[in-house]
Amino acid sequence: MNRSMKPSHVMILAVFAAGLVTLLLFISRCSTFSNVLLETENSLDRFLLQQSMLHDRLKSAVAEIDRVTQDSQQKPDLPTIYAITPTYKRFTQKADLTRLSQTFMHIPNFHWVVVEDAEKTSKIVKDLLTVKKIRFTHLAVKTQVKLLKKESDPHWKKHRGVDQRNLGLRWIRENIKDKSGVVYFADDDNTYDIDLFEEMRFTKSVSVWPVALVGGLRWEGPICVYGKVLSFFTAWQPEREFPLDMAAFAINIDIIQKYRQSYINPESKLGYLETDYLQSFNIKKEDMEPKANNCRKILVWHTQTVEPKMKQEKRLKALGMASDPSIDI
Ligand code: UGA
Ligand code: MN
């Protein structure tokens, strides 16, 4: 048998080999091209990330300059408001603190003492505070285990924010000396009218006003006649000496310094947190200073933020497709 190839076979083989080489070349060029694309995309990502980090640094630097300028612009004759805010990690934390900060940034001579219910201060709260034009002190203390409610208990079963407020009080006692001012407990989920702070600014001992949407009522608080507290409007445990919400009063800093042992008692009976604390200053309702148009104007609302539903997030998480966790909310 003639084993040598026919010229036509050689031709076919040559064309096939040339095609193969072209295909291989094409594939290799394609993969080089896609590598180049990928590399470009990566550098663009890196560039955008660097740009956003630079932007954040610039924003905090501007906020710091504003704070320093504000400090120099502080009117020495204007008492400072020290607002103590306990806060804890949850889906709505950043939203609540953003709303608060955008109220507080309009208040002159204001110092925000933010105390996290955590082992240590978090980056998310720190970043939020540093970019805002507000003087602040950032602290953290985790609520003692014995004060925590059981998982199955409703949220009101134990007092909340007590260890945090007490740490804020201690910080004020140790750091603010010989300065006129008032102390106010501003929970992170309430809504505040900026006028409230001008009402409380010149408090001599303890000033009071009504709070809306609390105690199962449209409003709860002092009933005042001719600039004196006559009684209190409340629907629950009216025998309490001061049936007031934490957002319903402010205390002069000299009183805070004078009664150095007065702290909020985490062991107070439910609903007695505020009355027990106010009673520890030996104050009588006759000595309280009614504010907000003789306690007839609402300037603070006990708005509680609803816990958002995360049904879809959980479903996607189970599929390994949850939302990008590197995007802070
Ligand atoms: C009501 C009153 O308005 C509070 O002033 C009072 O402390 C509380 O009841 C109580 O009896 O202890 P409520 O709206 O039910 O408050 O409580 P939250 O707003 O959930 O908590 C009060 C503050 O403590 C908030 O600033 C919150 O961020 C903080 N908190 C809450 C913590 O620091 N840790 C927690 O685990 C929960
Ligand atoms: Mn609340």
Nearest ligand, CA of residue 190? 2
* pLDDT tens-digit map of 141-199: 999 988 787 888 887 788 999 999 999 999 999 999 989 999 999 999 999 999 999 99
Contact 160, 73 (CB under 8 A): no
* pLDDT tens-digit map of 100-120: 999 999 999 999 999 999 999
Residue 88 CA, ligand 1 centroid: distance in Å: 10
Q: Using most ligand atoms within 8 A of CB, pick from 148, 187, 267 the residue to mutate for ligand 1.
A: 187
Q: Using most ligand atoms within 8 A of CB, pick from 160, 211, 220, 275 the residue to mutate for ligand 1.
A: 160
Ligand 1, residue 156: give the atom nearest the CA.
15
Ligand 1, residue 87: give the atom nearest the CA.
28
Give the residue extent of every domain in the chain.
75-301
* Out of 63-72, 140-149, 211-220, 314-323, least confident range: 63-72
Indicate if the pLDDT at residue 69 is higher than 70: no
Closest C-alpha to ligand 1, atom 16: 160
Residue 190 CA, ligand 2 centroid: distance in Å: 6
239 is catalytic: no
Catalytic residue among 39, 274, 307, 313: 274
Average pLDDT over residues 291-317: 97
* Out of 15-24, 144-153, 253-262, 275-284, least confident range: 15-24
Contact 148, 158 (CB under 8 A): yes
Sequence-separated contacts (24+) of 177-182 with Cβ below 8 Å: 177/257, 179/80, 179/253, 180/79, 180/80, 180/253, 180/254, 181/79, 181/80, 181/81, 181/82, 181/111, 181/252, 181/253, 182/79, 182/80, 182/81, 182/82, 182/207, 182/250, 182/251, 182/252, 182/253
Nearest ligand, CA of residue 149? 1
Q: Identify the CATH number of the domain defined by range 75-301.
A: 3.90.550.10
pLDDT at position 1: 42
Q: Which residues line ligand 1 (CB under 6 A)?
A: 85-88, 117, 143, 156, 159-161, 164, 187-189, 245-246, 273, 302, 304
